[in-house]
Each structure stands twice: as structure tokens, then as C-alpha cells.
Structure 1
Amino acid sequence: MQRKINLLLLLFSLLGGGAAFVLGELLLDQRPYDLPSIVLVGIYFAIVALGVGLGCLLAEMISPILNGLSWKQRYLGFSWKMLPLTLVLLFAVGSVMEFVYELNFGGVKPVKDVVMVIDDSGSMMQSDPGNSRYKAAESLVQRMDEDNKVAVVTFSQDATVVQPLIPLSSSANREQVTSVINSLQTTDGGTNISGALTEAMGVINSDNQSGRGAMVILLSDGFSQFDTSKELTEYVNRGIAVNTIGLALDDPSGSALLQDIAATTGGQYYDVTNADLLGDVFQQIYDRLGDRTLLTVRSDYTADSPYYAGVRILALLLVGTALGVGLGIVFDNRHLARSFGVGGAVSGLFAGLILEFGLDGHAFGDAMTRLLALLVLAAIIALFTFVIPFGEGRLSRKRGRSADTAAPSSAGFPSPRRNRGSKGF
């Protein structure tokens, strides 16, 4: 049993983690075939296993410091065959943990109802002369799932419910909402955000299905007097997020108000300078509707939940452990499996903490957070052979002849030898 570090393995493990990050980000961005999150996360961690596992295997093939030359001569082919098993293991662990992470506990309700609150005040003639906000809302309605409900509230000086909550399970209902949105026009008057959110809550309260969660999308280009500590109390108590969009805001107070509303209710704020971009923003908000994956920020009522924070950290700990054990399987060495496995648990713990406290909903920042988590995961596993001693898996115990002539065993178990005390064997 000895402690060693293969610096080439550390380098290749980091390079493999970096390559896995690039492929993983493409996977998360493109989401091919509209894969469900459980499968998507499973594939993501399988890619991590491929990158790190391939890097470690290539490093030991070039410089077999940990496993020894006899492993390279006798068992390298077997290790290549075992690499796919690590991918399957990480896919399974990642998928199961994502499934657990998506379960709703503690009265958390999946968000199914969307209330769009759209500013129709006179200033919109300058902020959105082409009425792109209506086109964005119409496009979103056409893309929403059949189990969603949608409502539309418009406001200027006064707020009006132009479309109460209606299920989108039928094409007729969907066309009805589209027709209502197409009939909207910019009006005169100021910006009454307080009245708009009051009407939106009234719409939500009118729905008798208590098992459904709701979310509000509020778009405005202005500012109004609004006391977030008092007027958002019901939103906060019921866990209803208000995602706000500031369109062409020149007044910093307007932007600050919308940011405060989003932050207080657990929503996100989006600053949009060009009305033509509203369609993408509406879709982005909807795509994050109740989004809760191990790799992204929680955007629903569980955003500040200690339970789901613990589940994410535990999930990454198990993923790291599985990755370390998988590397031990690849090298067919039980001692390395223990060393890598413990190192994987430690690295998974740190990776989980990085994701939990580093993700904030901003695309570039979240990508860098995932990169850091992967690099930490790969680095600590590679370095842990210096912390926990391991055997090369080639030496056998002396029994009548020198260990130098004993047959090597790649798994760290004594090699079978003939019983010289029995004839015929």
C-alpha cells in the first residue's frame, strides 16, 4: 500500500472534465428531441464519466504510475472494455438522483398556471411601437403545454382582466386566447403596477384547483408607487413567483422596482432594450417554469428550500462517489476503487456546494459555475491517491517462492497458484 500522484493523470482528468463541460453545455442548450430532464441529466453525467474516465485511462496508458507496467502489458485491453460500464453507472445514478430531486415534497405545487400582466400605458407607443409584446404573448400561448392554464391582464392607469384563467387542453381555447391578445391596443394613461398585481392575484384566487401552482409574468416600461413589503405579502406567503421584464427602461427607479418585485417573490428580472427580443424572453421564462434540475438554478417555490439544497449536494456526492468507483472498475483495482471512491465523495460534496451556492440564473455565470464544479470533481479524484494509500494490484503474498515471480493480479487479490503439495496439480 502506497501513496502516489500521477500528475499526467491529473492534467488529463482536468482536460477530460473541460471537454465534458463543452459537450454538456451543448446538450443543455440544444436539448435534442425535447428530452425529459431525468434523461438529460443522466446523459450529462455519462458525458462527464466519458471525459474524465477517458482522460485517466489515456494518462495511465502513457505513464502507468498508479497501476504499474504489468497492468499496461496485460490488462489495458480489459480496461478499455470496462470504460462503457462507467458511463452506464453514471447515467443510472444521475437519472435516479434527478428523479428524486424533481419530486415535490412539503406541499410544493408544480407550476401550471401562467398569468401574463402586460403594460398598455401610453409610454408603450415609444417603447414598443410595433406591439411586439402582444406577438410575444401570442407566440408563448401557442407553445404552452396542454396541461397549462393561462390568463391575461392589461394595465395602464387601471388594470383589466381581459382573459381569465383558461385551460389550453383544447385548440378552441388556445385560439380564444390568441384572439383576445390580437385585439389588444396601447391606451393612454400612467402605470399602475399595484393594481395590475392585485388583479393578477384575483385571477389566481378565482381558480378552485388548489393542487396547482401559479406564476406571473409582468412586463412594464415605467415606474409607479409600490410598497413591496406590504403589497406582495400574499404572493410571498403562497410561493407565487413574479417574473418581471423591464422594457427600454431609462428611469433607474423603474428597473429597481421590477428587480425588487422579482427578488421578493422568488422570480427573475429581465432587462430588455429592444422590444423585438421579447419573444425570446417570454419563451425563456416559460422554459424555466418550475425548472428544478441538479444542473440549473431552482426557479420555483423551492428556490430557498434547505431540503432541496441538501438533496442537490447529496446527489452530487453520490455522483462523485460513483465516478470514483467507476474509475476503479476501469482499472480493475479494488484499492484504486476505494481511493477514487472516497475522493469522488469529497469532490462531489464540493461540486454540490459550488452548484448550490453558485448558480444564480444568469446563463454565462451558471455555465462557469458548472465548469468549476466539474474541474473540482475531476481534480480531487485524481489527487486522492496521495491521501488514501492503494495497492498496484500486482503483488501477491509469498508462499514458497519470491513475490517477484508471483503472477500479477490486476484487482489487488492474490493470484491463484498451484498447490505443490498435491500431485497432478
Structure 2
Amino acid sequence: MQRKLNLLLLLFSLIGGAVAFCLGELLLGRLLGEWPSILVIGLYFAIVALGMGLGSLLAEIISPRLNGWSWRQRYLGLSWKLLPLAVVILLGVGILMEFVYELNFGSLKPVKDIVMVIDDSGSMEQSDPGNSRYSAARDLVMRMDGDNKVAVLTFSDEATVVQPLTSLAKAGNREQVTSAINTLRTTQGGTNLSGALSEALNVINGDSAAGRGAMVILLSDGVSRLDASAELQAYVDRGIAVNTIGLSLSDPSGPALLKSIAATTGGQYYDVTDANRLADIFRQIYDRLGDRTLVTERTDNTQHSPYYGALRILSLVLIGAALGLGLGIVFDNRHLAKSFGLGGIVSGFLAGLTLEYGLSSHGFLNAMVRLLAVLLLTGVIALFTAIIPVGEGRLTRRGRGETQPSPRPSEGFPTRGKRSSKGF
């Protein structure tokens, strides 16, 4: 039992982690939102296990500093067979922890009711001459799931309820909502954000069913007066996020107010200079609705929750421990399993902190945060053999049996009855 460090294993583990990160980003980009997020995140961590396992195996084949030459001669074939087991372990643990992370605890309500509040003031004739905001609203309604409810409000000097909260589960209701949107036209008047938000809250309070959360999408191109701290308190109390879209805003006080509304209620602000991009922005808001995975930013009403922050970190700790244990199983070495497992606890804690406090609304920076988290997972585990002593100790019966030396004949039994030839 001694402390060892295989620098080649550290290097290959980091390379394996970097390759796994690239594959994981492709997985998130193409399948997250198309496949169940629980399965996608499980596959993400299974890919990390595969990358680190392959890198570690190749490093020990070249320089078996941790397992010794006897491992390479006798047990290398077994290690290749055990590698899929480590991948399956991470797949299962990743799926389990993502499932727990997506559960809604306490009074938390999943967002199912969506209220679109659309600026119809006269200035929209210049900001959106092609009425792209209406087509964007129609496209979003057609994209929504059947368990959603949707309402449509317009506002200028006054707010008008075009369509109250309507369930999209019933046949024909989706066409009813889109038909109501088709009747909308730009009016003349100012921008009364206060009245629009007040009327949107009335719609939610009057029609939102118990156990369902609500969200508001507010689009405007103008400047208005609003006491955010006072007039938005009801939204804060109900946990209703207001996602704001600023269209072609030239006066800096306009974006400042919309940003304040979004920040106060836990929503996001989107700055749009081209009205033709509105459909993409509406779709992006909906796709981020309730987004909560272990490796992406929380965008639902748990965004600032310390409980879900702690749960993310704890989940990464368990995933790191499983990764280290799986690597020890690959090498069929109980001492390595212990060392790598403890290293996985530390690396998972560091990776969890990195994800929890590093993820933001910026896509490229989020990718870099995930890269750092994966490198912490793989690198710290590989370093831990320099802290926790390791030696040869097989996990399987086969390993223990093959390492037993066969006794020599002269060492087996005493030679009773034999006399020396001397003296005769």
C-alpha cells in the first residue's frame, strides 16, 4: 500500500473528459428537448464515464504504474469487459439523480398557463410594420403542448383581453385562439405597461387552476411608467415570471424598465432589433419553460432556489462517487475503487459548485462551465491516488485465485520417516 501518481493516466483522463465533453455538447444540442431530459442527462454522464474509462485504461496499458505489470499480463482482458459495466452504472446514477432533480417539491407548481401580452400602440407601425408579432404568437400557440392553457392580451392606452385562458387539450381550441390572433390590428395610443400587467394578473387569478403555475410573455416597443417594486409584488408573491421582449427600443429607459420587470419576477429579458426574429424569441422562451437539468441553467421558478442548488451539488457528488467506483471496478482493484471513489466525492462537489454558480444565460459561457466541470470530475479522481494509498487487491474471485502462489513440494509437508544416507 503506497501513494502513487500516474501522470499519464491524469493526462489521458483529461483528454478523455474533453472528448466526452464535445460528444456531450452534441447530445445536448440535438436531443435535449426532443428526447426525455432524464435520459439525455443519463447518457451525458455515461459518455463521461466512457471517455475517462478509455483514457485511464490506455494510460495503464502504456505505463501500469497503479496496477502493476501483473495486471496488464493477467487481467487486462477482464478490464475491457468491465468497462461497459462502469458506463451502465453512470447511466443509471445519472438518470436517477436527474429524475430527483426534476421533481417539484413543496408548493412548487409546474408552469402550464401562458399569457401573451402584446403591445398594440401606434408606434408598432414603425417597429413592426409587417405585424410579425402576431404571426409569432400564432406559431407559439401551434407549438404548445396539449396540457397548456394560453391567453392573449393586447394593450395601448388600455389593456384588452383578446382570448382568456383556454385549454389546448380540447379539439378546436387551438384554432379558436389562432383565429382570435388573426383579428388583431395595430391601434393608436400610448404604452400602458402598468395596466397591461394588472389585467394579465386578473386573467391568471380568475382562471388559473390550482396546482398549475403561470408565466407571462410581455412584448413592447415603448417607454412607460411603472413602480416595479410595488406593482409587481403580486407577481413575486405568486411566483409568476414575466419574460419581457424589447422591440427596436431606442430610448435607454425602455430596456431598463423591461429588464427590471424580468429581474424582479424571475423572468428573462430579450432585446430584439428585427421584428422577423420574434418567432424565434417566442419559441426560445417556450422551450426554456421549466428547463431544469443538472448541466444547464435553471430557468423555471426554482432559478434562485437554494434547495435546488444544494440538490444539484449533492447529485454531482453522488455521480462523482459512482464514476470513481466504476473506474475502480474497471481495474478490478478494491484499493483503487476506494481511492477513486473518495476522489469522485471531492471532484463531484467541485463540479457541482462550478455548475451551480457558473451557469448563466450565455450559451458559450455555459459550454465552458460544463467543460470545466467535466475536467474537474476526471482530473481530481485521477489525482487522488497520490492522497489515498493503493495496492494490488482484486475485487473478483478470479483475481484472488490467480494471484495465489502454488506451494513448492518441499514446503508442503514435513518429510517424516526419511533418514539421511550419511552414516550407512
TM-score in same-fold range (> 0.5): yes
1:84 corresponds to which residue? 84
Are 2:33 and 2:287, in contact at CA under 8 Å, matched by a contact in 1? no
Shift of 1:33: 8.5
Deviates more, 1:211-220 or 1:2-11: 2-11
Residue 27 of structure 1 pairs with residue 27 of structure 2: yes
**Residues 67 and 393, structure 1, Cα contact 8 Å, conserved in 2:** no
**C-alpha distance in 1 between matches for 2:273 and 2:74:** 63
Secondary structure (helix, strand or coil) at the match of 1:297 reads: coil
Whether the aligned pair in 1 keeps the contact of 2:208 and 2:214 (CA below 8 Å) is: no
Instruction: Say if 1:242 and 1:262, in contact at 8 Å, map to a contact too.
Output: yes
Question: One-letter code of the match for 2:229?
Answer: S
2:264 aligned with 1:226: no
- Write the distance in 1 (CA, Å) between the matches of 2:378 and 2:401: 27
CA separation of 1:135 and 1:292: change in aligned 2, threshold 3 A? same
Counterpart in 1 of 2:170? 170
Q: Paired residue for 1:148?
A: 148
8 Å CA contact 1:163–1:180 kept in 2: the answer is yes
- C-alpha distance 33-132 of structure 1, shift in aligned 2 (>3 A): closer
Q: CA deviation at 1:362?
A: 2.1
Q: Does 1:186 align with 2:174?
A: no
**CA deviations over 1:91-126 (Å, ceiling 9, x no partner):** 100111111111111200011000011111122122
- Report the counterpart of residue 352 of structure 2 in structure 1: 352
Q: How do 1:15-414 and structure 2 match up within 5 A?
A: 15-31=15-31, 34-207=34-207, 209-393=209-393
Deviation, 1:60, is 1.3
* C-alpha spacing 1:412/1:301, structure 2 compared with 1 (3 Å): farther
Q: Can you list the C-alpha shifts for 1:308-364, whole angstroms capped at 9, x where unaligned?
A: 111110000000000000100111111111111000010000101111111112211
Q: Cα offset for 1:414? A: 8.9
Contact 2:32 2:40 in 1 (8 A): no
Query: Are 2:401 and 1:416 equivalent residues in the alignment?
Result: no
| Distance in 1 (alpha carbons) for counterparts of 2:32 and 2:249 | 36
CA distance change for structure 1 residues 294 and 303 in 2, over 3 Å: closer, same or farther? Answer: same
Q: TM-score, normalized by length of structure 1?
A: 0.93
Distance 1:335 1:28 in 2: 35
Contact 1:334 1:412 in 2 (8 A): no
- CA shift at 1:138, angstroms? 0.6
Change (3 A) 1:32 1:343: closer
Counterpart-to-counterpart distance in 1, 2:53 and 2:403: 27
Q: Please give the alpha-carbon distance, in whole angstroms, between the structure 2 residues aligned to 1:339 and 1:34.
A: 38
**Could you tell me which amino acid in structure 2 is paired with residue 124 of structure 1?**
M
Question: C-alpha separation between the residues in 2 aligned to 1:119 and 1:350?
Answer: 45
Question: Amino acid of the residue matched to residue 17 of structure 1?
Answer: G
- Name the counterpart of 1:4: 4
Letter of the 2:58 partner, please give it: L
1:201-241 deviation per Cα after TM superposition (whole angstroms, max 9, x unaligned): 01100115111100011111121111110010010011001
Structure showing greater radius of gyration is 2
- Alignment partners' CA distance in 1, 2:180 and 2:123: 22
Runs (5+) with no aligned partner, structure 2: 415-424
Q: Is the Cα contact below 8 Å between 1:89 and 1:322 reproduced in 2?
A: yes
Shift of 1:413: 8.8
Whole-angstrom distance in 2 between the partners of 1:5 and 1:136: 58
Instruction: Name the CA distance, whole Å, in 2 between partners of 1:163 and 1:213.
Output: 19
Structure 2 counterpart of 1:213, one-letter code: G
Specify whether residues 411 and 318 from structure 1 end up closer, same or farther in structure 2 by C-alpha distance, changes over 3 A only.
farther
Secondary structure of the residue aligned to 2:235 is helix
CA contact (8 A) 2:214 2:240 kept: yes
User: How far apart, in 2, do the equivalents of 1:312 and 1:413 lie?
Assistant: 42
SS in 2 for 1:60: helix
C-alpha RMSD over aligned residues: 2.0
**Which is worse superposed, 3-12 or 29-38?**
29-38
Deviation at 1:393, TM superposition (A): 3.8
The 3 A distance-change label for structure 1 pair 33 and 101 is closer
CA distance in 1, matches of 2:400, 2:248: 67
Q: Which runs of 4+ in 1 moved over 6 A?
A: none
User: Structure 1: where are the runs of 5+ without partners?
Assistant: 395-407
